[in-house]
Amino acid sequence: MRPADCHISHDSDQTAASATKNFPCCMCDLEPRQTAAAADGSACHCCVILNLQILSGSAAGVPRLSSLFSLCRAFFWLVSLLLASLVWFISVHLSDQGNARLQYGLLIFGAAVSVLLQEAFRFAYFKLLKKADEGLATISEDGRSPISLRQMAYVSGLSFGIISGVFSVINILADSIGPGVVGIHGDSPYYFITSAFLTMAVVLLHTFWGVIFFDACEKRHYWCLGLVVVSHLVTSGLTFLNPWYVASLVPIYIITFCMGIWAFFTAGGSFHNILKCLSCKQEDDSRVMMYSALQVPFED
Amino acid sequence: MITFMNNSDSEDEPCNERTSLMSAESPPVPSYQDGLQASETREAQTHRKRQTGSSRSPNNVADEDTSDLDVRVRESALENEEEELTLKYGAKHVIMLFVPVTLCMIVVVATIKSVRFYTEKNGQLIYTPFSEDTPSVGQRLLNSVLNTIIMISVIVVMTVFLVVLYKYRCYKFIHGWLILSSFMLLFLFTYIYLGEVLKTYNVAMDYPTVILIIWNFGAVGMICIHWKGPLQLQQAYLIMISALMALVFIKYLPEWSAWVILGAISIYDLIAVLCPKGPLRMLVETAQERNEPIFPALIYSSAMIWTVGMAKPDTAAKGQSQQTWDADGRENHSSSSHSDSQILDTRSPAPSHPITLEEMEEEERGVKLGLGDFIFYSVLVGKAAATPSGDWNTTLACFVAILIGLCLTLLLLAVFKKALPALPISITFGLIFYFSTDNLVRPFMDTLASHQLYI
């Protein structure tokens, strides 16, 4: 039984047959009551895909070397998740498994440990990246490394967000393909769509946190670091209010928006930049060409 | 095997080369055997230049001092340049290998998740005769270990046989064997695969159409792989063949045996490539002595060579007649697939005269990875995807682990510049991540998802 099965009902005799496979049911016909689930599922897919398209469009200009770094970042996140799962697993097995409240408490504890470990690994990755940056700078011909630290911060946050989002949502997506009815046992029927929105928020948040975190570590503004960690904990805590979505989704999106603005200003943006960017089509063409002629491409 | 060669293969036509040429200019690097001599000649040359320069003004002692300093600065600048280029190319090669490995894994995972044929148990190969349907855990473990021992010994025997054939120059025999294997793979296995896919999606197809499709696919594949063809088509065929072979392994290897075999084969790979008397190392050394491309069969190459304005004798072009043969027939997939599980790093032989940075030739340092590595990576990820719980997190975790292992291996290759096995690091990471994700992370994430909690 997949966890999403709690929220989706299947024909009971199909469940037994499908115990060996992931999909709840492959062979039964799609009945009218199941088309609602299909619509929800497709909306969920669209949200996630839209989110990823936005982010991949923004990441299109990133040079190849940073795709290596983003893979390392994903690996670090996986390791942090592994350690947190280990802690949770041990705590669960050492405790009384019948006590539901205790188990819920242990789950909260596990989630908090996971958040703290993620931030710790983000810091460790920052240290590693600094070393790599220095190494690349010393051996490059003009003393500068091919990727700026800002770019690395962005890529690091983005890859953290992508792997975190994908791990959260992919099983739900896979289950949403199969026929079924969402929430027939009294759970919320908006499970898929809210999962999609939450995942999108998580991905964006990690990207913004990455930028802010790296900048804070560079400038040694430790209060910024603390704020990032606290906001991560708060966001994770807000999801505990699900399925009371008004109380969880709205604040999370407010936090996302605030973090976005903060990250924008941290990365050096300003209103002037926005105006210049929006009106850049009317810019003098010769000036643009001169600038690109001056720049020596470091990578292809 | 991964070969970090200047010589790539099989792309001869100028129009294709021009369109698929990657812009890269690099100073030619001497081969690692002659590395010391080449750098000495280079140093001697610069020193001689400086000497002649300083002899013109013999009274000026300060001039000699600055000239010595210039020599040192120039040498260190050359070293820095070398290092930077190595790292840059290292990074580029890592990316060039990520794409085919990812594609192969995607094909395998997509097939496993959709076509049920490859997860059904319909018997076992003769290489794994012991069944795992035993009541006790100990008996099952024993059977899987015995299966592994048999499989690995078959692989060892085949590899040694192949090395012996290569040593005694029985090239025709090897050619024939590989052609037969690739024939069977391209026709029979593709036919079975197509049949199962059509069955899954309930698409009706008549025999004449099937014959037409399979015939075209197979014939073009044989030509591309064994003779000439566009590089990308060849790469695509090699990826498809590796995926087919991996699917066969996933279907016919029993559960526990598969994991033990994966572990054992990475240990064997380590021994065979790094020990002085290992068969693969002997193969590498024999090929280097004969100045031939290192075992051209069953290698995926990611780039091609196009030498323009050669400043050195055409030793590079001599070794270009290799084609990438690919053949993984049932009987001999174990040997052929295994013999490529190594990374090699060869450069073209040192030129007859030292080449300064001005006389550069346009060439691309290609990276080659053995198809056996593709196959075993895909087997690991496919097995992770085929678990009864159907968890996607496990698949993703294994995928990331394998790519990180590949990255580390290529980094070691750039550092050590000699033949390295491609399997051990990736498979170790993959196994660790598979078992830990399946047993620790999956319950945690499932419990979180059931309460719709996000971390």
What is the per-residue pLDDT across A67-102, written as a single tens digit (0 to 9) for each?
788 888 999 999 999 999 999 999 999 888 788 888
Task: Spell out which residues of chain A touch residue B81, defining contact as CB-CB under 8 Å.
Answer: 141
For residues A57 and A21, the model is more confident at A57
CB pairs A-B closer than 8 Å: 132
| pLDDT, average across residues B260-273 | 93
Residue A183: which region, alpha, beta or left (left: phi > 0; alpha: psi -120 to 50)? left
A198/B393 CB distance under 8 A: no
In chain A, the residue whose alpha carbon lies closest to the alpha carbon of B397 is A78
- Higher-confidence position of A164 and B360: A164
Of the candidates B378, B389, B393, the residue with the CA atom closest to the CA atom of residue B437: B393
Residue B334 pLDDT exceeds 50: no
B302 touches chain A (CB under 8 A): no
Residue indicated by tokens 């065979």: B272
Tell me the pTM.
0.75
Cβ of residue B116 closer than 8 Å to a chain A Cβ: yes
Mean pLDDT of B384-397: 89
pLDDT at A47 (0 to 100): 57
| Contact at CB, A68 and B407, closer than 8 angstroms | yes
**Interface check B209 vs A, CB under 8 A:** no
Res. B452: pLDDT tops 80: yes
Predicted complex ipTM exceeds 0.85: no
- CA distance to A175, B195, B212, per residue, from B201 (Å): 19, 10, 20
Q: Tell me whether B393 touches chain A (CB under 8 Å).
A: yes
CA distance A275 to chain B (A): 36
Say which of B388, B436, B449 has its CB closest to residue A3. B449
Q: Which of A38-42, A127-131, A279-283 has the lowest mean pLDDT?
A: A38-42
Closest Cβ–Cβ partner in A89, A191, A300 for B440: A89
Which residues from B are below 8 Å from A166, CB to CB? 396
Which stretch of A119-133, B73-87, B201-215, B266-280 has the lowest confidence by average pLDDT?
A: B73-87
Residue B86's pLDDT is: 65
Q: Is B114 touching A (CB cutoff 8 A)? A: no
- Rounded to an integer, the average pLDDT of B16-33 is 37
CA angle A19, A25, A30 (to 5 degrees): 165
B449 and A4 within 8 Å at the Cβ level: the answer is yes
Which tops the pLDDT comparison, A22 or B376? B376
d(CA B157, CA B151): 10
Q: List the one residue out of B421, B426, B427 whose CA is nearest residue B345.
A: B421
- A contacts of B80 (beta carbons < 8 Å): 139, 141
Task: Give B439→chain A minimum CA distance, Å.
Answer: 9
Q: Check pLDDT > 80 for residue A140.
A: no
Cβ contact B83–A139 (<8 Å) = yes
Higher confidence at residue A36 or residue B359? A36
* Mean pLDDT calculated for residue range A243-251: 85
Is residue B124 pLDDT above 90, yes or no? no
* Res A132: pLDDT: 81
Task: Indicate yes or no: CB of A115 within 8 angstroms of CB of B455.
Answer: yes
Of A204-213, B152-161, B283-292, the one with minimum mean pLDDT is B283-292
Examine the pLDDT at B245 and tell me if it is beyond 90: yes
- Specify the pLDDT at position B332: 37
- Tell me the average pLDDT across A29-33: 37
For residue A254, pLDDT over 90 is answered with yes
Is residue B397 less than 8 Å (CB to CB) from chain A? yes
B25: closest CA of chain A, how far (Å): 12
> What is the spatial distance between Cα A115 and Cα A230, in angstroms, rounded to a whole number?
10
Question: A276-280, B61-65, B432-436: lowest mean pLDDT where?
Answer: B61-65
The dihedral of CA B351, B357, B358, B363: what is its sign? positive
Task: Report CB contact under 8 Å: A21, B449.
Answer: no
Residue B240: pLDDT over 90: yes
Q: Quick check: is B373 catalytic? A: yes
Average pLDDT, chain B: 74
Distance from CA of A10 to the nearest CA of B (A): 16
Could you tell me which chain A residue has the CA closest to the CA of B442? A85
Mutate to test the interface with B, among A168, A170, A231, A242 (most CBs of B within 10 A): A168
Closest chain A residue to B446 measured between Cα atoms?
A3
Instruction: Kindly list the residues from chain B whose CB atom is less than 8 angstroms away from the CB atom of residue A20.
Output: 388
The pLDDT assigned to A53 comes to: 56
At B45 the pLDDT is 43
Give the residue-averaged pLDDT of B277-304.
76
Kindly name the residue from B269, B326, B340, B391 that is annotated as catalytic: B269
Q: Which candidate in B9, B326, B345, B373 is catalytic?
A: B373
* CB pair distance less than 8 Å for A107 and B447: yes
Mean pLDDT of A224-233: 93
User: 3-state secondary structure string, chain A?
Assistant: CCHHHHCEECCHHHHHHHHHCCCCCCCCCCCHHHHHHHHHHHHHHHHHHHHHHHHHHHHHHCCCHHHHHHHHHHHHHHHHHHHHHHHHHHHHHHCCCCCHHHHHHHHHHHHHHHHHHHHHHHHHHHHHHHHHHHHHHHHCCCCCCCCCHHHHHHHHHHHHHHHHHHHHHHHHHHHHHCCCEECCCCCCCCHHHHHHHHHHHHHHHHHHHHHHHHHHHHHCCHHHHHHHHHHHHHHHHHHHHCCCHHHHHHHHHHHHHHHHHHHHHHCCCCHHHHHHHHCHHHCCHHHHHHHHHHCCCCCC
Q: Is A72 in Cβ contact with B390 (below 8 Å)?
A: no
User: Which of these ranges, A128-142, A232-246, B131-145, B301-315, has the smallest mean pLDDT?
Assistant: B301-315
Highest mean pLDDT, choosing among A102-116, A266-280, B76-90: A102-116
CB-based contact A111 B455, cutoff 8 Å: yes
Tell me what the mean pLDDT of segment B8-14 comes to: 37
Reported confidence tier of residue A207, pLDDT bands at 50, 70, 90: very high
Give the pLDDT of residue A98.
Answer: 81
Residues of chain A found within 8 Å of residue B98, distances taken between Cβ atoms = 67, 71
pLDDT score of A142: 65
| B454 close contact with A: CB closer than 8 A | yes
Chain B residues with CB-CB distance to A235 below 8 A: 454
Confidence grade of residue A112 (pLDDT, cut at 50, 70, 90): very high
**Inter-chain residue contact B400 with A78, CB threshold 8 Å:** yes
Mean pLDDT, to the nearest integer, of B40-60? 42
Q: Do A236 and B116 touch (CB under 8 A)?
A: no
Residue B73 CA to residue B77 CA, distance in Å, equals: 6
Tell me which of B23, B429, B455 to substitute to probe the interface with A (most A C-beta atoms closer than 10 Å).
Answer: B455
**Cβ A191–B452 below 8 Å, yes or no?**
yes
Q: Which residue of A has its CA nearest to B411?
A: A68
pLDDT reading at A222 higher than 80: yes
Cβ <8 Å between A84 and B444: yes
Q: What is the CA radius of gyration of chain A?
A: 23
Whether B411 has its CB under 8 Å from any CB of chain A: the answer is no
Mean pLDDT within B388-398: 89
Which of residues B79 and B227 earns the better pLDDT score?
B227
Contact A68 B113 (CB under 8 A): no
d(CA B217, CA B233): 11
pLDDT of A229 strictly over 90: yes
| CA–CA gap between residue A252 and residue A202 (Å, rounded) | 9
Disruptive mutation site among B92, B439, B453 for chain A (greatest number of A CBs within 10 Å): B453
Q: Please give the share of chain B, as a percent, with pLDDT higher than 70.
A: 65
For residues B340 and A106, the model is more confident at A106
Cβ B182 vs Cβ B209: under 8 Å: no
B392 vs A67, A89, A170: nearest CB: A170
The mean pLDDT of B417-436, rounded to a whole number, is: 91
Q: What is the mean pLDDT of residues B373-385?
A: 94
Instruction: Determine the distance in angstroms separating the CA of A26 from the nearest CA of chain B, rounded to an integer.
Output: 10
Q: Rounded distance, CA B195 to CA B201, Å? A: 10
Task: Identify the pLDDT of residue B317.
Answer: 35
Residue B25: pLDDT over 80:
no
Q: Do B446 and A2 make contact, defined as CB atoms within 8 angstroms?
A: yes
Q: What is the mean pLDDT of chain A?
A: 77
